[in-house]
Amino acid sequence: MPTKTKSSKPKKALFRKAVKYVYSFGSGKADGNGKMKALLGGKGANLAEMTRIRLPVPAGFTISTEVCTYFYENQSTYPPSLERQIDEAIAKIEHSMGKKLGDPVNPLLLAVRSGARDSMPGMMDTILNLGLNDKTVRALAERSRNERFAYDCYRRFLQMYGDVVMGVQKRPGEDHDPFEVVIENLKKELHPKDPHIADTKLDASALRTLTDRFRKLIRERTGQDFPDDPREQLRGSVGAVFGSWNNDRAIVYRRKYNIPHEWGTAVNVQAMVFGNTGNDSGSGVSFTRDPATGEKVLYGEFLLNAQGEDVVAGVRTPEPVAQLQVEMPEVFRQLQDVRHTLEGHFHDMQDFEFTVEQGRLFMLQTRNGKRTGFAAVRIAVEMVKEKLIKPDDAIRRIPADSLSQLLAPVFEAKARKTTEVIARGLPAGPGAASGQIYFQANDAEAAAQKGLKVLLVRIETSPEDIRGMLAAEGILTARGGVSSHAALVARQMGKVCVCGASDLHIDYAKSTLTVRGKTFNKGDFLSIDGTTGEIFPGEVKTSPSDIVRVLIDKDMTAAESPIYRVFAQLMQWADQRRKLEVRANADQPDQVGHAIAFGAQGVGLCRTEHMFFEGDRIDHVREMILAENLEERARALAKLLPAQRSDFAGIFKALGGRPGTIRLLDPPLHEFLPHDTAAQQALADKLGISIERIARRVKELHEFNPMLGHRGCRLGIVFPEISEMQARAIFEAAAEVQAAGIKVRPEIMIPLVGFPKELELQLALVHRVAAQVQKERHLKLSYLVGTMIEIPRACIVADEIAKSAQFFSFGTNDLTQTALGMSRDDAGSFLPRYQEEEIVRQNPFAVLDQLGVGKLMEMAVKLGRSTRKDIKLGICGEHGGDPDSVKFCHRLGLAYVSCSPFRLPIARLAAAQAALKD
């Protein structure tokens, strides 16, 4: 645009007015406050806030993130007014502490720390003991009456400053840090017999020698002297902290945690306090409640006679903070007060750092504490009871995914500690399971029927293995990702699952599993932790979660389980708020029962083919597939009809009037036929036909890309008699259950529709059968017919499809596979690299790809509604149980999400969180 010329002046121009860059705090007053995290960083804002609420914070100031931005936009220079503002702030500290920077008698020492808006622990630089030089160190020695302490502070400062500010670091070809080399050499000189003595054994004189040598080293390496002037030290340190915002590890961290590069960091400059001046001093890190269990106790650790850095570094093992009750009762009492003050003020569990200097408590930091899922729920619910927060806050605060921890069985803590981990896989179904390993589904089933605890171990699983999976405590596979068949089915069944453990070598012929030289035979015990992916040898003891014991096993009452009670309370609040309905993907009556216990308002996906493997139906199914003409096929289908009818009747009863979406046959037929010769021979004998005929049919049905093959409604189009049998089974079952006085709301779902006419044809068939059954049974049934939206073309022509579909259910598993051209079962060979290269941020089969698949969904929703304003919209892919995806579905305006029963609480909470965002 010609009227607007781009300025070529330096950006400094913008800062000409005396903008405030420096925010002081100390003596109960602060320029900033806790809400100013964007400007002051998390640490700086909370230091200001703590000062305001009269907690004992050493005086200091924060240089705002705007300066960082300026620094990067102006070739590492600062706004002109900054120096003056810093001088004023230092004067305030000096006044507050009664010390002076660089004073040869009573010198003020400073700590310089980074502090971004979001915590980036350990990523950026810190400088302590700033203000020391050859003169002030003597003053410190005198005032502390501890020469060793003073020179130790000084040599640490030289080492940090030399490294961080002046860049004295290991060079290519060098094996050790140059400062450490100087220390080692000195030790050799002074203690030739014991050159490896601890640093703490070096006396004041040795440390003084070190300070000289460090100064020399700096000069040698940089050609510059270490700056004695504390203000120059401060300038250098502030620059180094800003510079460290863009060091490699900080960039990697921000990328990983989605922190924008342009936020920048603030710099906190604070008077030093010392926890290492003797046994009346120390440093600690504490939580206002237990971050693992959520219990309302002061929890944390303390290290006597140590600086804060020592606690975090883990060099000495700290003691529980409760110990202070004995050792420093007054400090402990103060800490309890601090705890109440913090929670009362911040309304959340706090993770805080403190230092005790000669019996006096100083607060150095506070922030919201990280916690387990258990703790998250318990703390949030209890804080509502304590009127610290509102139920809305509780809902917002708990990461929905963390609820999976509350539902999973667990290894008994003691047992797991004593067992070595032999291999690791992907944590695909949370919880803990032990059992005897079996490699074949039928073996596993047989063993389970004998009352054995079984682990099904497969290279990978397929639908043929379902009964074995059902029978097993847990499933372990050598191949496949967290959305492989094994993982998917396991999650739905609430089974423990570790998948893709590629170190396992499974030999089906020998029935052995070899891992790192160790071989396990069929029947040997293994244990797997589906929350961590760990695999243990032998049997590690487990127990089911409280939630499952109360809701499903019913061997525990709500009264007996505090965690159940807080969970139930949370779910109640969530249900009151959410707008999305939640349904379950469930194929069998007992699964439906569990789903309802977990809050399902209906079934969103009943995969009828999962029932095909039960009892002798698989024989009828195979007979149907092997039929050489319509007549033979019809005969086999007639045998299948009663079984399917009773399945559906069971589901309708279990639903008790709730809606149930039943999908017609979806998988390609070859999945139902046996593929190895022995099983084919057995089937041939059973059906009285030749094995050649079976082998031929298997060959005929072979597909290069079964995912894109003859499946879904394509089966019902080519073999309408299959759809007809299924429709009849559904309506006859519905009639039966309705006649028994239970309301029935079947929703029949046609899978894999891409062309409007496909749906029209199947729809006509379903309506025809419905009319027949209603006439035969003399009753009126109320039902819907709709379709899965699971291939891109369906989204594109959704307006046409909506002419016949009463509902759309997004099958985001297949929609993801087709939209991305990526097979879920095969993506394992490149997806990990894709995540590493940040081509994808998350596994698109676990978390909905909103920019790609989501766009197609949006299109389908818009087009679908353009034809049928009140079309019912839902999702039944695995994503229905993923919190981010649930929130996306809420924004899309879907009516419901459907997921595996064990994900229902997560979906309920995520749906409530989404509703609160409106």
CA proximity to 762, closest of 695, 712, 810: 712
Distance CA 238, CA 888 (A): 42
Find all residues with CB under 8 Å of 874, minimum gap 6, and list them: 581, 583, 604, 661, 807, 808, 809, 810, 894, 895, 896, 897, 898
Closest to its own copies by CB, 367 or 865: 865
Closest to its own copies by CB, 420 or 836: 836
**Shortest distance, position 784 Cβ to its own copies, whole Å:** 23
CB atoms within 10 A of CB 135: 14
**Shortest distance, position 765 Cβ to its own copies, whole Å:** 12
**Shortest distance, position 789 Cβ to its own copies, whole Å:** 11
**Shortest distance, position 785 Cβ to its own copies, whole Å:** 17
Closest to its own copies by CB, 383 or 715: 715
Across 291-328, b (16+ Cβ under 10 Å) vs e yields: bebbebebbbbbbbbbbbebbeeeeeebbebbebeeeb
Closest to its own copies by CB, 225 or 703: 703
In the numeric block, which tokens belong to residue 820?
A: 């991305």
* Residue 485 bears catalytic tag: yes
**Shortest distance, position 797 Cβ to its own copies, whole Å:** 6
Closest to its own copies by CB, 710 or 891: 710
* Residue 876 bears catalytic tag: yes
Q: Which residues of this protein are in contact with its own copies, per CB under 8 A?
A: 703-710, 714, 717-718, 752, 754-755, 757-758, 761, 790-793, 796-797, 814, 817-823, 825-827, 829-830, 833-834, 837-840, 849, 851-853, 855-856
**Shortest distance, position 505 Cβ to its own copies, whole Å:** 10
Strands 603-607, 581-585: pairing is: parallel
**Shortest distance, position 665 Cβ to its own copies, whole Å:** 14
Closest to its own copies by CB, 248 or 838: 838
Closest to its own copies by CB, 17 or 833: 833
- Among the listed residues 153, 485, 606, 899, the single catalytic one is 485
- Partners of 607 in beta bridges: 663
CA proximity to 605, closest of 867, 874, 827: 874
Closest to its own copies by CB, 143 or 702: 702
**Shortest distance, position 729 Cβ to its own copies, whole Å:** 23
Strands (DSSP E) contained in 305-390 are 319-320, 350-357, 360-368
Strands 581-585, 360-368: pairing is: unpaired
Contact between 439 and 522 (Cβ < 8 Å): yes
Distance CA 136, CA 379 (A): 48
- Among the listed residues 876, 879, 890, 899, the single catalytic one is 876
Task: Report the half-sphere exposure of 585 (CA within 13 A, side-chain side).
Answer: 28
Contact between 480 and 425 (Cβ < 8 Å): no
Closest to its own copies by CB, 338 or 761: 761
Find all residues with CB under 8 Å of 3, minimum gap 6, and list them: none
Q: What DSSP letter does each residue of 796-827 carry, written as one string?
A: HTHHHHTTT-SEEEE-HHHHHHHHHT--TTTG
**Shortest distance, position 700 Cβ to its own copies, whole Å:** 8
Find all residues with CB under 8 Å of 388, minimum gap 6, and list them: 343, 344, 347
CA proximity to 909, closest of 122, 377, 533: 377
CA proximity to 349, closest of 273, 423, 287, 301: 287
Coil, strand, or helix at residue 662? strand
**Shortest distance, position 755 Cβ to its own copies, whole Å:** 5
CA proximity to 180, closest of 191, 192, 168: 168
**Shortest distance, position 1 Cβ to its own copies, whole Å:** 15
Closest to its own copies by CB, 72 or 834: 834
Closest to its own copies by CB, 284 or 877: 877
CA proximity to 523, closest of 439, 619, 596, 635: 439
CA distances from 763 to 716, 742, 767 (A): 11, 25, 6
CA proximity to 799, closest of 864, 892, 873: 864
- Tokens 């503002």 belong to 85
In the numeric block, which tokens belong to residue 800?
A: 């046409």
Residues assigned a catalytic role: 485, 876
